[in-house]
């Protein structure tokens, strides 16, 4: 999942971005309102964390402009502890939720999970494809009785394929939802991660769940004709 963090406090912004990347999110950063609008126009985000007090265009106006353009991305507003009027104005401008500063990082994570659930991005705590189980709460995966060791980025890659099991996912879609602008997101990086994830999921298994469709993308699914013991999906 790809997020946009809009916060002019560089230390706070980078700290939040670092924590969310460790939680397998792809995270872009903006330090002012105009940059936020430009980035939201250029990329598709799963959620936006938006501070109200920004240089230039403030967060409330950013939210209002995004909604006026038809944007439906969930927006979590960051507000000062005693700024009741700002919270009301942010919600009236189209924000979906708010969090007061200073905040606990665990609460930020929980609110983001809630926002994406409302949007329908997360369908179940466990995503099951054949005998592969992707645990969205623990950020872990297993195949049968075998635990699969994954880095944060490998988990994010596998998670997006699992959410779209049965459908070929293009490189462009993976780039949009799994990577962010802080990484070298071109050349063959997607092919490299696809190779790593495929090996970890399928090597040593009788049935391959991960397949590459040249020129189209990648598919996570149970092949037709697979015995029922492996074909189960729940």
Q: Which domains does the chain have, with CATH numbers?
A: 2-119 (3.40.50.2300), 126-231 (1.10.10.10)
Whether the CA torsion 49, 54, 56, 62 is positive or negative: it is positive
φ, ψ dihedrals at 142, nearest 5°: -145, 150
Radius of gyration of the chain (CA): 19
pTM of the model: 0.66
Give pLDDT tens digits for 66-98: 999 888 899 999 988 677 888 888 889 999 999
Whether the CA torsion 97, 174, 166, 162 is positive or negative: it is negative
Cα end-to-end span (Å), the chain: 23
User: Which own/partner pairs from 170-175 qualify as long-range (CB within 8 Å, at least 24 positions apart)?
Assistant: 170/216, 170/217, 171/217, 173/217, 174/217, 174/218
Whether 181 has a pLDDT exceeding 80, the answer reads no
Whether 106 has a pLDDT exceeding 60, the answer reads yes
Amino acid 115: pLDDT: 86
Q: Return d(Cα 125, Cα 104) in angstroms, integer.
A: 23
Give pLDDT tens digits for 125-178: 788 999 999 998 788 999 999 999 998 889 989 999 998 999 999 988 888 788
CA 23 to chain centre: 9
Q: Return d(Cα 39, Cα 18) in angstroms, integer.
A: 19
Tell me the CA distances in angstroms from 106 to 86, 109, 113, 136, one per residue in order. Answer: 23, 5, 11, 15
Whether 231 has a pLDDT exceeding 70, the answer reads no
Residues 6+ positions from 60 with CB-CB distance below 8 Å: 52, 86, 89, 90, 93
């Amino acid at each position: 999942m790809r997020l946009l963090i809009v916060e002019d406090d560089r230390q706070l912004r980078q700290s939040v971005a670092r924590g969310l990347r460790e939680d397998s999110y792809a995270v872009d950063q903006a330090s002012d309102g105009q940059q936020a609008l430009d980035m939201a126009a250029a990329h598709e985000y799963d959620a936006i964390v938006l501070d109200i007090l920004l240089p230039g265009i403030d967060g409330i106006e950013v939210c209002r402009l995004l909604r006026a353009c038809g944007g439906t991305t969930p927006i979590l507003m960051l507000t000062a502890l005693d700024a009741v009027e700002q919270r009301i104005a942010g919600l009236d401008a189209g924000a979906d939720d708010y969090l007061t500063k200073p905040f606990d990082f665990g609460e930020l994570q929980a609110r983001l999970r809630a926002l994406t659930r409302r949007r329908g991005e997360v369908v179940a705590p466990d995503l099951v494809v054949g005998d592969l189980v992707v645990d969205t709460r623990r950020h872990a995966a297993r195949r049968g009785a075998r635990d699969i060791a994954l880095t944060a980025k490998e988990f994010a890659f596998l998670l997006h394929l699992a959410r779209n099991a049965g459908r070929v996912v293009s490189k462009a879609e993976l780039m949009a939802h799994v990577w962010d602008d802080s990484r070298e997101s071109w050349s063959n990086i997607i092919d490299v991660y696809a190779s790593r994830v495929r090996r970890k999921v399928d090597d040593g298994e009788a049935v391959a769940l991960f397949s590459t469709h040249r020129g189209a993308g990648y598919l996570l699914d149970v092949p037709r004709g697979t015995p029922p013991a492996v074909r189960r999906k729940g």
